Copies of this chain bind each other. A is one copy, B any other.
Amino acid sequence: MINRLVSNIKKTGAPIVAGLDPMLGYIPEHIKAAAFAEYGETLEGASEAVWQFNKEIVDKIYDLIPAVKPQIAMYEQFGLPGLAAFKKTVDYCKDKGLVVIGDIKRGDIGSTSAAYAAGHIGRVQVGEKSYAPFDEDFVTVNPYLGSDGVNPFIDVCKEEKKGLFILVKTSNPSSGEFQDQLIGGKPLYELVGEKVAEWGASCMGDDYSYIGAVVGATYPAMGKVLRKIMPKAYILVPGYGAQGGKGADLVHFFNEDGLGAIVNSSRGIIAAYKQEKYSRFGEENFGDASRAAVEDMISDIKGALESR
């Protein structure tokens, strides 16, 4: 799957991922009105609005980008109907040729991580049959429980040719509270980064490992250090755009080959129509605003990489 991600990135020339993190506040009124007319102001209605919103955006941008990253929390908040919309979104994006990164940030003791891995990137056995319940291509994993919480995900990746992005340094303001603490003079995130490199060494695709890392765009200096610690890990970089990261901050997340990182933008793409810059499209044409935002993001990052 890492080879497909890299080939999709080369084909589109776009090391970016669209974060499909729909909040009801982002969804245009006409979409919500249609969904509520059909299902009422219910969890089903909200989930239908989320799905129709996603579908329109994906239809408008799928040819420009290699991958999407649906954040499962935004679906899980609407209960079972919301999770059904998550699954529909995963399937639809895969049908469009996109690599799907399930942003699930799971992680638990061994047997429990094994269940999450089976449900999200693997298969679960029921009698003589087996099923792939959510079937994302990659998932994000929280490393706080250590190797035996991560290994069951890695085992499933090996079997199913899937991949992981492990949280190393997250994009949020208080990520340093624990992640930056010095251990023998070295911050915790470096220690986790070293582990990611170690876990990833036996999980190589053609040029990159399918065990990647999450490092926030909001911490470019740390990104530069982590790039060196994990030379073969793909880095998923959240925090571009709405969270404050800019193209120029991102160059050190990439290797010399222009590969090795994939930058996520969520609000900046899916709610682009709400920005002054894209208001010319109008709420009705929110998908076109998203397309314009993707094109601008691609050229921002391309420009930054070319002028480094």
Contact = CB atoms under 8 A, between A and B. Distances in A.
14 contacts: A23-B111, A24-B125, A41-B128, A77-B118, A77-B119, A78-B119, A78-B133, A79-B119, A83-B83, A105-B106, A105-B108, A177-B195, A183-B188, A188-B188
B126 A172 contact: no
A53 B41 CA distance: 34
A106 B144 contact: no
B183 A182 contact: yes
A109 interface: yes
Given A126-B42, A127-B36, A144 B179 contact: yes
A82 interface: yes
A196 interface: no
Nearest to A134: B79
Nearest to A71: B112
Contacts of A238: 109
B105 A170 contact: no
A176 B195 CA distance: 13
Contact of A146 (B128, B142, B179): B179
Interface of A: 21, 23-24, 32, 36, 41-43, 45-46, 71, 73-74, 76-80, 82-84, 87, 105-113, 115-116, 118-120, 124-129, 131, 133-134, 142-149, 167, 170-179, 181-184, 188, 191-192, 195, 238
Contacts of A21: 112
Contact of A147 (B113, B145, B174): B174
B124 A146 contact: no
Nearest to A133: B79
A161 B221 CA distance: 41
A172 B188 contact: no
Contacts of A80: 80, 83-84, 87, 133
A79 B136 CA distance: 12
Contacts of A83: 80, 83
Contact of A172 (B110, B127, B179): B110
A32 B83 CA distance: 26
